[in-house]
Structure 1
Amino acid sequence: MAVPGKKTPKTFSSSSTMGSDETIQVYCQPCDRDGPRLPAHGYCVDCREHLCDICLTAHKRHTLSRHHTLLDDNNMPQTMSSASIRPSRPDSLTKPCPRHMREIIKFYCQNHEALLCSVCVTLEHIGTSCKVNYIPDISDQVINSKEHQDILKAIDTISEQYHKISKDVKSITAKFNNSLADVLADINKFRKEINQRLDELERQAEDAAKTIQQEKDKNLKTVETICDDVTKSLKTSSDSIKHLNTTKQADKLFMELKLAEQMIKDYEKCVHQLAACDIKEYIFKPNKAISTLFDKERSLGTITEKSLKQQSPPQTVNIKSRQTSQQGKICVKTSKDKVRCGITGMIFLFPDLLIITDWYNCAVKIVDTCSHTVTDQLQLDTEPRDVTSVTSTELAVTLPEKQNIQFISVTSNKLKEKQIFKVDGKCHGISCCQGKLAVSFIDPAKLLILDTNGTILTTVRREDILMKPEYLTTNTHSVYVSDSVMRTITRLNWQGEVIGSYGGMARPYGMALSDDGSVFVCDYGRNVIEEIAGDCSTGNVVLRGLNSPRFVCWCAETSKLYFSCLTEQDKDDKFVQVFKLS
């Protein structure tokens, strides 16, 4: 039976092939897919489909398609698109919409690059600015496409990055665990050092008390003996006088009385002396600083953190003029010094704790920068050249004349010699970073990278850059070396490869790394301190008109520059100069 408003479809399908002298009948494509075949009476340019009268009317009313461009039967294409004559394929769209779980994703908005269900389209993508496509109509173009290749390549790249991050995290985790194990060991070691020091102080106090006790016991024993002897002598004399008087031996009695009279005078003097002897009672008065120490302090120490991630190399620093103001000077000459000072190395352990090496007096000194005093001095049997901090409680000092590197502990503001290891050559400059020591040698001229056990990791011997390497400073990615013959600052990586150089200097010596990556250098030949960029591209003089500056040290916390001079005059060389930089 015929359906009103529709013609009975012919028996051949939309995929039927016509003869060469026949034309293909144009049919409604939506009806061709879902129902009986009907002739087309219009065409949607946006959907690229032929439509029958009923579909054309519905197309004009539907929210998703009412703004589409429609052509009537006189202007529509008179041939069917390939989509209308190919076999229909099963619907493979089964992924539910994450926002509307009962709906299936079937559309794609090119403007918002979003996958959509019909509800998403109706609620949010019905504007004229949105170009929404039915996914089966556009999906064929992605097979073996550039987008397909790019996405796979991006997935591989991201996978490699996450694999590397995972590998790095495992490495960092191991370092992290090792560092905390070291922290616990250091806490235990520090506690033992405190106990040892307190035990030592206790023994000293006990020895002092025992010495007093022995001395007083001896004095009291002497007094007791004297009293016993006098008492016996007086009793003997008294008994003799009584007997002679009873027996009426006048001559003997006379002599005995006179002897007793003299004896009484002598004993009276003695009794006054003994009576004047002040026998004291003793009490213990605790050391106030120690007794209040644990009242003031709230922890045994602090655990500080340091990033384990590899830092990026420093960018070019724009070296600009700094404002400078002199903050005074610190006298580092002590009563133990036999000759004038020769400060050849400095390093900060804390903002108020400066360690210096005194070449001429064979000493390493602790300088309190708040009180401007030397609080401890360690005498060595040879001249120390440079010093670096290995940890917050350990230093390493170069001893060029003996070709040694001496380790020194710093506990309770006291210096103490520890282990020592031999090196091959006259070691001058030294700097420690992340458990590695960079050491410069002037004879033979070279640079060594070692671990803290003395194992050589890298050796650099190049006459084109190193002829007399004096000093060096380091960070996680660079080693800066001053050479007084080459008149340069050379920048190397930790593998010993040259990655930068700065020339134009007269006689560079001591260096210090600032907190922004630039390097302060003492130019002994020009009597200036110059600041150069971390990449050695530019430089600028920050202090000029100095008197033979030899070594420099930077305190980032206070923005102060400390430097020593070597003028061969004690009035100048015994001071550390201090300047504020801004």
Structure 2
Amino acid sequence: MEVSGKRKPKKTLSLSRGSAEDFLLFCIPCDRDGVRVPAKGYCLTCTEHLCDTCYKHHKKQTPSRHHILLDQDSMPTTPSVPIVKDEFDSCDDHEDEKLKFYCRDHDIVVCSICTTLDHRTCNVEYIPKLSKYIIDSEELNETMTEMKALEDNYKSQIKRVKDEIKAISQNHDDVIKAIRQFRKELNTRLDKMEKRVVKEADNILLKQTTNLNDLSMEVQTITNELVEKQVRLHKLMQKNRLDKLFVEMIDAKKRLEDMRVRQKQHSLTDDFQTVSFVKNMYIVDVIDRHQKLGELITMNTSMVIQYTDKTLKLEVVEDINSSSLGEKISDITGMDVLQSDKMVVCEFSKRKVKCFDTVQMRIISEIQLSKSPFDSAAITNDKFVVTVPDERSIHFMSLTNRQITSDLHVNINERCHGIACSRDKIVVSCIAVPGKVLVLSGRG
């Protein structure tokens, strides 16, 4: 019997939301109401899985009875995703219209007015119809894959940037450490130089002090002898011993003459010399001229060849031999590249320097020397330097209007062989005992 004013509680379903482990395919309409029920069919029109009850109602209800349904044996085996009705954006040109159409020809989304006005002849499709199968489409998968790949690429680039910043910071610390280490080395060298000159000054002081002490002792000895002689003469005078006084006087006169000579020999003006310190102006000039401890050289790290194996395999991309040059070349001892298509070679036995065009594959110019050239190095795109061991010299040459000319040669008094140029320095290796490397810097 019902009690007036009270309502019976509504019956609730005992089946609650299950976990993904209970069943993978479930009814989407029931899931919206908070109940998860196993799927027994699928609606292609709604793209939703349905339970047995919703499947039956789907056939009977007027809005959905013409939908295409698949039974449990034919339905998709992957979970369906509930379709959310999106709010379309408004068109920029027609504010009251929504961007519901896609122009395949122009690859843009448009509104109905844009379609009528600007895309009447284009292949225009309705977006809600196209989007039904977008989730499983190859185009979406490709787009997502490309975006993921690009994302990974950017993440990798961010990591490389961070690693580069770390490397730059470490490089900075290494540079500062090298600068301060060089300063310590300079201090050590200066300390040694200071010790040498101080020791030299100490030795001079010791020598002069020793000489003056010896002089003082000698003078003191003579003074004592003079005093003693005077005392003896006074005593003999007082005792009136005239004969003895005469003899002592004669002896004193002889000693006086000897003492005068010794006094001149030990004169202070002859023995004592002042010492002064003269600065090494070469050191001062170097410091004033350079004004810094050294130079900072930047290198492009991407140009460094990195490899993990102990053996680096190189591929021959072009083989230039004497037959390709159209003439026989007996021996090439040195070479360097002047320009991208010009190469300078030293033909030792024929005493020639030749310029080879790598595009035309022929010798375009040569110059005969009195002695055999050994090696060459490019200074600029049109200037280079050549070593001539038997002359003990290096030749400065130019390539002007495709002709080699000798500008000047410099004697270095060494049998020079290998040569290289870096900035404003020329480095030459010489055969000597012991072997040596010369670093030359020219100032015009």
Shorter-chain TM-score tier: 0.5 to 0.7
Alignment of 1:92 onto 2:83:
no
The match for 1:503 is 321
126, 133, 136: which one aligns with 2:127: 136
SS state at 1:218 partner? helix
The match for 1:304 is 297
Q: 1:208 to 1:127 in 2, by over 3 A?
A: farther
Is 277-286 or 129-138 further displaced after alignment?
129-138
Alignment of 1:225 onto 2:217:
yes
Map Cα deviations across residues 206-265 of structure 1 (whole Å, 9 max, x no partner): 111112111111221122122111211111121122222222222322222222222222
The match for 1:566 is 389
Q: 1:165 to 1:241 in 2, by over 3 A?
A: same
Q: Could you tell me how far apart the structure 2 residues matched to 1:127 and 1:264 are?
A: 138
* TM-score, length of structure 1 as denominator length: 0.43
- Write 1 or 2 for the structure with the bigger share of helix: 2
Q: Could you tell me how far apart the structure 1 residues matched to 2:132 and 2:350 are?
A: 72
Q: Could you tell me how far apart the structure 1 residues matched to 2:184 and 2:276 are?
A: 29
Kept after mapping to 1: 8 A contact 2:100/2:128: no
The match for 1:395 is none
- Write 1 or 2 for the structure with the bigger share of strand: 1
The match for 1:321 is none
Point out which structure has higher relative CO (alpha carbons under 8 A, 6+ apart).
1
Kept after mapping to 1: 8 A contact 2:332/2:347: yes
Using the TM superposition, give the Cα deviation of residue 550 of structure 1 relative to its aligned residue in structure 2, in angstroms. Answer: 0.9
Q: Could you tell me how far apart the structure 2 residues matched to 1:95 and 1:102 are?
A: 10
Map Cα deviations across residues 88-141 of structure 1 (whole Å, 9 max, x no partner): x9863545789999996545567875556799x69xx97799969576289469
What is the identity, as a one-letter code, of the residue corresponding to 1:308?
A: T
Q: Within 5 A, what are the aligned runs for 1:266-281?
A: 266-273=258-265, 274-277=267-270, 279-281=272-274
Kept after mapping to 2: 8 A contact 1:108/1:133: yes
Q: Within 5 A, what are the aligned runs for 1:172-187?
A: 172=164, 175-187=167-179
The match for 1:466 is none
**Unaligned residue ranges in structure 2 (runs of 5+):** 1-65, 69-82, 323-328, 401-444
Q: Could you tell me how far apart the structure 1 residues matched to 2:164 and 2:183 are?
A: 28
Alignment of 1:528 onto 2:352:
yes
Q: Within 5 A, what are the aligned runs for 1:183-202?
A: 183-202=175-194
What is the identity, as a one-letter code, of the residue corresponding to 2:270?
A: C
Q: 1:541 to 1:192 in 2, by over 3 A?
A: farther
Map Cα deviations across residues 455-477 of structure 1 (whole Å, 9 max, x no partner): x922xxxxxxxxxxxxxxxxxxx
Q: 1:243 to 1:185 in 2, by over 3 A?
A: same
Kept after mapping to 2: 8 A contact 1:509/1:524: yes
Alignment of 1:457 onto 2:310:
yes
Kept after mapping to 1: 8 A contact 2:355/2:366: no
Q: 1:566 to 1:292 in 2, by over 3 A?
A: closer
Q: 1:168 to 1:528 in 2, by over 3 A?
A: farther
SS state at 2:248 partner? helix
- Alignment length, in residue pairs? 312
Q: Could you tell me how far apart the structure 1 residues matched to 2:164 and 2:362 are?
A: 36
Q: 1:171 to 1:299 in 2, by over 3 A?
A: same
355, 367, 382: which one aligns with 1:544: 367
Kept after mapping to 2: 8 A contact 1:511/1:552: yes
Q: Could you tell me how far apart the structure 1 residues matched to 2:316 and 2:397 are?
A: 32
Q: Report % sequence identity.
A: 21
**Unaligned residue ranges in structure 1 (runs of 5+):** 1-84, 311-433, 437-448, 459-493
Q: Could you tell me how far apart the structure 2 residues matched to 1:115 and 1:220 are?
A: 111
Q: Within 5 A, what are the aligned runs for 1:46-57?
A: none
Computing the radius of gyration from Cα coordinates, the structure with the larger value is 2
Using the TM superposition, give the Cα deviation of residue 555 of structure 1 relative to its aligned residue in structure 2, in angstroms. Answer: 3.1
Kept after mapping to 1: 8 A contact 2:346/2:376: yes
Map Cα deviations across residues 123-162 of structure 1 (whole Å, 9 max, x no partner): xx97799969576289469958886576466546645654
Kept after mapping to 1: 8 A contact 2:103/2:125: no
Q: Within 5 A, what are the aligned runs for 1:300-339?
A: 300-310=293-303
239, 247, 271: which one aligns with 1:255: 247
Alignment of 1:579 onto 2:397:
yes
What is the identity, as a one-letter code, of the residue corresponding to 1:304?
A: I
Alignment of 1:284 onto 2:277:
yes
* TM-score, length of structure 2 as denominator length: 0.55
| Cα RMSD (Å) | 4.8
Kept after mapping to 2: 8 A contact 1:105/1:117: yes
248, 265, 290: which one aligns with 2:257: 265
Q: 1:171 to 1:285 in 2, by over 3 A?
A: same
SS state at 2:301 partner? coil
Q: 1:561 to 1:252 in 2, by over 3 A?
A: farther
What is the identity, as a one-letter code, of the residue corresponding to 2:313?
A: Q
Kept after mapping to 1: 8 A contact 2:384/2:398: yes
What is the identity, as a one-letter code, of the residue corresponding to 2:334?
A: G
